[in-house]
Amino acid sequence: MNIFFTFLLSALVFTVLDLFWLVKVAPQLYRRHIGHLMAEKVNRIGALLFYVLYHVGLVVFVLLPAKGNIFEGWLLGSLFGLVTYATYDLTNLATLKAWPVKITVIDLVWGTFLTGVSTVITLWLMGVFGL
């Protein structure tokens, strides 16, 4: 298995799906509920570091163990998404004054869905490319 190619493939699939969320769905939702906490501009270095670290974890803890098993990949990917998104959202819920429960729930559902689906697509593409 070419780990670097798996990393790139996973990052591409995840990012395309996440950009749909971040551009089409989330802006109004986040502005309405947590606009008072949002920066005017995205910190691109912080975003890049998130995506790189997220996909290192996804490759090591999900894609490598599930290689060739779409169902196992979906389960592990969904769990990885839930745990990682919960780390962020539940910490915010616990430590920030006005962090809405609604945003926490929506983010947990999105992170679980996004990571599970992107894992399945990545594993399928790995099969197509013979990885």
pLDDT at residue 129, as a whole number: 82
Residue 88 CA: distances (Å) to CA of 48, 100, 124:
16, 13, 29
pTM of the model: 0.92
Largest CA distance in the chain: 49
Going from N- to C-terminal start, the domains of the chain cover 3-128
Q: What is the dihedral of CA 107, 111, 114, 118, to 10 degrees?
A: 160
pLDDT at residue 84, as a whole number: 98
In angstroms, rounded to a whole number, what is the distance separating the alpha carbons of residues 97 and 93? 8
DSSP secondary structure of 54-89: HHHHHIIIIIHHHTT-HHHHHHHHHHHHHHHHHHHH
In angstroms, rounded to a whole number, what is the distance separating the alpha carbons of residues 74 and 49? 24
pLDDT at residue 38, as a whole number: 87
Looking at every residue in the chain, the average pLDDT score rounds to 94
Taking 70 as the pLDDT cut, the residues of the chain under it are 1
